Amino acid sequence: MSVSASEATGANPVAREKIMEVEGLFKHFPIHAGFFRRQVGAVKAVDGVSFDVLRGETLGLVGESGCGKSTTARLLLRLMEPTDGSIKFEGREIAGVKGNELKALRREMQMIFQDPYSSLNPRKTVGSIISDPFAIHGMHKDAGERKKAVQELMDIVGLNPEHYNRYPHEFSGGQRQRIGVARALALRPKVIVADEPVSALDVSIQAQVLNLLRDLQRELGLTLIFIAHDLSVVRHMCDRVAVMYLGRIVELATSDQLYSHPRMPYTGALMSAVPVADPRLAAAKKRQVLVGDVPSPTNPPPGCRFHTRCWKAQEVCRNEDPPLVAKDGGNLAACHFPLSDAEVLERVPSARNVNG
């Protein structure tokens, strides 16, 4: 079965336009050693990543720590200089923009950080934290107008607008994350990148923030790039998901497709590793435990990068780097021997349920 790439990645019934296009993105961090601090190597954090972000969608980035998902996000926002590659925002190349042009770009894209404790300045009031973006971009210069704008934002994210003059320490973790969301929304950006926005929160609070992000996205038509290591959270939030391994995207598909029919053995292993909050399902599944650790990104294995830990690896995997192409079922996957449906059913309990 052959599926065209655009059909596979944008399986949404409404054909959406691309808001961002990433092509051949690289970020290598040099390693210096010796007396002359000569460059002896590089950490290949992002090593040739290409994907599109569609307007109004939630795109998930998942993978183990060190796979380059956070670096990719920071490159998209231009918080870091890419080593090579092109990033287009609404058709415009942004990989090299500087100065005022970059500042203007910041109004279009904002970020929500993981840790609501360290990402808010403890010496500023909530009001001034949320209104900082206004000050930087010279908006709402009148104090009364600015206060009104901030209080509207606080209301949108479910904070009491009367708490305008309080300090971050007076809020709980979940409320602090709402402050972070309000600050990200202040400039009415088109794209928001959320890097592990709920992993520092308690279970009961996590759901509050997830619901908030989902509602805001629907109401404001935001494009959300959602990074998390919790695969159940990613499935709940995202329309499409990209799985990263050692600086590369190894599988990209719609959420439903990825979770019910993973093609790349690495994705299958990730799904299989998620503990299920259902003792009967947990007992029934054959857990696919990956052996060993992620290889060093300084010197990634030749051929398919996953071959050192893959149970299906053969000679060809050690020599040839598989391209990211459409596989059976429409997922884009970089794999020589994609999983069959039977193999998926045996290992991934969620697939069993989705299929009835």
Partner 1 sequence: MAAPLLEVENLQVHFETEDGLVKAVDGISYTVDRGQTLGIVGESGSGKSVSSLTVMGLTRARNARITGTVRFDGKDLLGTSEEDMRQIRGNDIAMIFQDPLSSLHPFYKVGAQIAEGVQAHRDVSKAQAWDRAVEMLSLVGIPEPRKRADAYPHEFSGGMRQRAMIAMALANDPKLLIADEPTTALDVTVQAQILELIERLQSEFDTAVVVITHDLGVVAEMADEIAVMYAGRIVEKANTDTIFAAPEHPYTWGLLSSIPRLDAPRDEELVPIAGRPPSLINLPGGCSFHPRCPYVREAHTKVDPELKPVPGAPGHEVACLLDSSVRRKLWSELRSGVKPAEARSDVMEEAR
Contact set with partner 1 (CB under 8 A):
64-65, 172, 174, 202-208, 210-211, 229, 231-233, 235-237, 255-256, 259, 269-282, 287, 289-291, 293, 349-350, 352-354
| Closest CB 279 distance from partner 1, rounded Å | 5
Q: Taken in order 170, 176, 178, 182, is the CA torsion positive or negative?
A: positive
The answer to whether the CB of 257 falls within 8 A of the CB of 331 is: yes
The SS3 of residue 87 is strand
| Closest CB 17 distance from partner 1, rounded Å | 24
Closest alpha carbon to 48 in 258, 330, 337, 321: 321
| Closest CB 275 distance from partner 1, rounded Å | 3
Nearer to partner 1, 5 or 205 (CB): 205
CA distance 221 to 57: 9
CA distance 136 to 83: 28
Tokens standing for residue 19: 């808001």
The single-letter DSSP state of residue 169 is G
Closest alpha carbon to 228 in 196, 267, 252: 196
Nearer to partner 1, 82 or 116 (CB): 116
| Closest CB 213 distance from partner 1, rounded Å | 11
DSSP per-residue letters across 7-22: HHHT--SSPPPEEEEE
CA distance 112 to 185: 10
Nearer to partner 1, 150 or 231 (CB): 231
| Closest CB 59 distance from partner 1, rounded Å | 15
| Closest CB 259 distance from partner 1, rounded Å | 7
CA distance 80 to 88: 15
| Closest CB 349 distance from partner 1, rounded Å | 6
CA 155 to chain CA centroid, nearest Å: 27
DSSP per-residue letters across 195-248: ESTTTTS-HHHHHHHHHHHHHHHHHHT-EEEEE-S-HHHHHHH-SEEEEEETTE
Count of residues in the chain: 356
| Closest CB 297 distance from partner 1, rounded Å | 13
Nearer to partner 1, 9 or 254 (CB): 254
Nearer to partner 1, 188 or 286 (CB): 286
Strand ranges (E), the chain: 18-33, 38-54, 58-62, 84-89, 92-93, 109-112, 191-195, 223-227, 240-245, 248-254, 325-326, 332-333
| Closest CB 64 distance from partner 1, rounded Å | 4
